[in-house]
Structure 1
């Protein structure tokens, strides 16, 4: 579903860019956050070479290329491999690579000054708010990249090689402006070996979940923990349960800021279900104060049976999870028999967001670099190295997969067309923070499910009425 502009654009580019980093701080801590965006015209002045079968994007052979990559849990070797391949094709081009931890902090002044790099991996806790960049006209249109021939899949365009939803995830106002390299699936993680040892079966319904939690608690293990300092982790299964209850209509109502969207029965029921976890004492004591690394370490130590997280978890827990832990992802249990989506449906979206800025010096080179990065061979190498599903379809075919990555691939296969994602987190960072804060209060028994719904609806209504904020619909 492509987004379409609904309200007037932001009025002042410079003011927007100065606030882009602070706005992004309210966004999710990790790349689990689905980052995507929309665009303006791409800096055609720097193009310069005729487009041919061997050079479909018109790259000038000797034009320098600057690539900025978020050097997080995946490192940046996968990016430098693509740069090496670019250098083989264009040996006259000098490549400047920067692997950074705080992309937004480093890139904000360059966007403001009008001299951004040619490629930016806008990912990580301090990333720039993509909606702000879009409204300020700082993101280049990637349509020609998506329509270019795939590098190593004859007869296919780049867009034809991507998993469902990847193009939409990077689209604002009808224009694709970000291309996301990883494919994240959200669910509940557990140790397959631990469950087998205890004779526990993964639940398919929430009623079965509560029954299992009672059994787990009696054994002396906490049924759940979560990354309490970052309650967006708990939002993911809550919102997944709501989506299964209300279907795509519920998701669209939320994303489109419709009146009363957060008071839909599916959302209130899901909030009630997750309030039960706290009310029945099924959360590990002290989870509220845990960071993502602390909660995940406690889970790996078998102090808790379940933890909510995106599919980057296995890669992040390398060196922490003990041998034979065999972590696997399970889909969020069904809320009830009236659910509009099947239990196999999963929340999934692409992340690790690459963009070519409007004012890039070498935009054609930036898009060609992405064509190389998003090749099947590049994606396969990434999957092998990082135990993470890439956004390129078929990248894991023929590989012997780890327990976690295998379970993620199986979940996507089982879901088929029943994958879904919310867009409000990417479109409206302040609303995302309001939801996170409310869920943190809900999990700690400080507000009721009805209060949770009312509180978020108030924030959504205020945003809907704010004419200074550009709106998007799906």
Structure 2
């Protein structure tokens, strides 16, 4: 299972079907493992209560979780920890949720994750608000919520309740090779006019300006939406998240779609990219066959086997459509990924919350970064760690943004809308089967279908 699957996994057919037909139990916990609360034990963990943790065994593996479990054991040596890892989260755990016997902590990730819509609508998840208000493990005077990067609570909240801790932090942008650009004297473009001008220069040098995974074309919907948000402001993104009528037809969205459609029209996309998956297109980029690729900050780890030692990969924000954009050039899409949940029917809910508190400590977070080459949602947890060029550029991106990072939530609220409908429409756009206006129409039609479907639980982003 690839890193991409980790971050963008959709609910499988098994999970969606089972959730639609089976009651998952209310959100009233059956947890009777309660200890005395104190300054050392603010969540009231019962020191000898067993804890069961299930990890998605994808690109991150499971060793990082074993380290977190060891930290938990140091605090509660009498507690027996049952650890397991699988790529089949839904197939393995769906029957246990239905039976009211789920684990205490679940890393609900991957292509076979359990559908969040079903989990939320049936009250199967513990509200993590008490974790946010608990003191951090590192500084009792500081709440856990105050140690998190911006946007982490938003992306894990449904109906105003914080139900999913997205532990990894992903920055999305446009990647290029600093070595290539320095050798050619090229500067990364900050506006779309500059991007088109540079693409002409790159093509003349015998290099494809852009490559992309045509089999997962939603990767290119990310810079389109980022450009739209930067042009029109966060309200444009919120309208999309809230399934508002004509949200995808907003002038900023249309202008962004027109911009990226221009890459196809002007021949700036690598020939053959339409038939590539993410690994193939990224490998072509690593081999110098293309100058730009759209991806998240897992790219360095995902391509570590093929990146030339002196490649110097760098991520940059999407160019502004014009200098009159609402957001600055430095604004980028940054969001949490790799969701962890505490089932409401777990036997040791308090232990599950404490386990997440351990994960959110500086030690727990920095250890994760060292082991898997990914940032976490904990502020400052990568300080002092030697990072690769890609992750170093991500930390520089975050710092330069000065708090202007933003994200969208529709892909979390309505995952199939992105993974099926937006994906297909974007593939057609870049293959020139439809134009930008038609892309807006197609995606809006799909969003309207979700909005009108009574079987789809709706969420409102404030």
Q: What TM bracket, shorter-length normalisation?
A: over 0.9
Q: How far does the alpha carbon of each residue in 1:58-101 deviate from its partner, in whole angstroms, 9 at most, with x for none?
A: 11222211111112222222211110111122222221111222
Do the aligned partners of 1:345 and 1:415 also contact (CA within 8 Å) in 2?
Answer: yes
Residue of structure 1 aligned with 2:372, choices 386, 397, 402: 386
Give secondary structure in 1 for the equivalent of 2:169.
strand
1:120 and 2:106 matched: yes
TM-score, normalised on structure 1?
0.90
Paired position in structure 1 for 2:312: 326
Do the aligned partners of 2:155 and 2:412 also contact (CA within 8 Å) in 1?
Answer: no
Q: How far does the alpha carbon of each residue in 1:168-222 deviate from its partner, in whole angstroms, 9 at most, with x for none?
A: 1111111111111111110011111121122221111111111111111111111
Q: Structure 2 vs 1, CA of residues 23 and 360 (structure 1 numbering), >3 Å: closer, same or farther? A: closer
Q: How far does the alpha carbon of each residue in 1:5-34 deviate from its partner, in whole angstroms, 9 at most, with x for none?
A: xxxxxxxxxxx998634699xxxxxxxxxx
Paired position in structure 1 for 2:231: 245
Give secondary structure in 2 for the equivalent of 1:229.
helix
Residue of structure 2 aligned with 1:147, choices 133, 136, 139: 133
Do the aligned partners of 2:56 and 2:109 also contact (CA within 8 Å) in 1?
Answer: yes
Do the aligned partners of 1:17 and 1:132 also contact (CA within 8 Å) in 2?
Answer: no
Q: Structure 2 vs 1, CA of residues 418 and 49 (structure 1 numbering), >3 Å: closer, same or farther? A: same
Give secondary structure in 1 for the equivalent of 2:233.
helix
Q: How far does the alpha carbon of each residue in 1:264-298 deviate from its partner, in whole angstroms, 9 at most, with x for none?
A: 01111111111111111111111111111111111
Within-5 A mapping of 1:451-470: 451-470=438-457
Do the aligned partners of 1:20 and 1:133 also contact (CA within 8 Å) in 2?
Answer: no
1:285 and 2:280 matched: no
Residue of structure 1 aligned with 2:416, choices 413, 424, 430: 430
Distance in structure 2 (CA, Å) of the matches to 1:448 and 1:263:
13
Distance in structure 1 (CA, Å) of the matches to 2:371 and 2:216:
27
1:194 and 2:172 matched: no
Within-5 A mapping of 1:47-126: 47-126=33-112
Give secondary structure in 2 for the equivalent of 1:414.
helix
Distance in structure 1 (CA, Å) of the matches to 2:367 and 2:99:
36
Q: CA deviation at 1:51?
A: 1.3
Give unpaired runs (5+ residues) of structure 2. Answer: 1-10, 20-24
Distance in structure 1 (CA, Å) of the matches to 2:434 and 2:259:
14
Paired position in structure 2 for 1:20: 15
Give unpaired runs (5+ residues) of structure 1. Answer: 1-15, 25-38
Q: CA deviation at 1:399?
A: 3.0
Do the aligned partners of 1:42 and 1:141 also contact (CA within 8 Å) in 2?
Answer: no
Q: CA deviation at 1:385?
A: 2.9
- Of the structure 1 ranges 125-134 and 264-273, higher mean CA displacement relative to structure 2 is found in 125-134
- Of the structure 1 ranges 41-50 and 134-143, higher mean CA displacement relative to structure 2 is found in 41-50
Distance in structure 2 (CA, Å) of the matches to 1:314 and 1:75:
16
Q: CA deviation at 1:353?
A: 0.5
Q: How far does the alpha carbon of each residue in 1:379-427 deviate from its partner, in whole angstroms, 9 at most, with x for none?
A: 1122233332210001122333321111111111111221111111111
Residue of structure 1 aligned with 2:198, choices 204, 207, 212: 212
Do the aligned partners of 1:246 and 1:340 also contact (CA within 8 Å) in 2?
Answer: yes
Give secondary structure in 2 for the equivalent of 1:419.
coil
Q: CA deviation at 1:44?
A: 5.0
Do the aligned partners of 2:12 and 2:112 also contact (CA within 8 Å) in 1?
Answer: no
Paired position in structure 1 for 2:431: 444
Distance in structure 1 (CA, Å) of the matches to 2:341 and 2:272:
39
Distance in structure 2 (CA, Å) of the matches to 1:71 and 1:428:
24
- Of the structure 1 ranges 394-403 and 358-367, higher mean CA displacement relative to structure 2 is found in 394-403
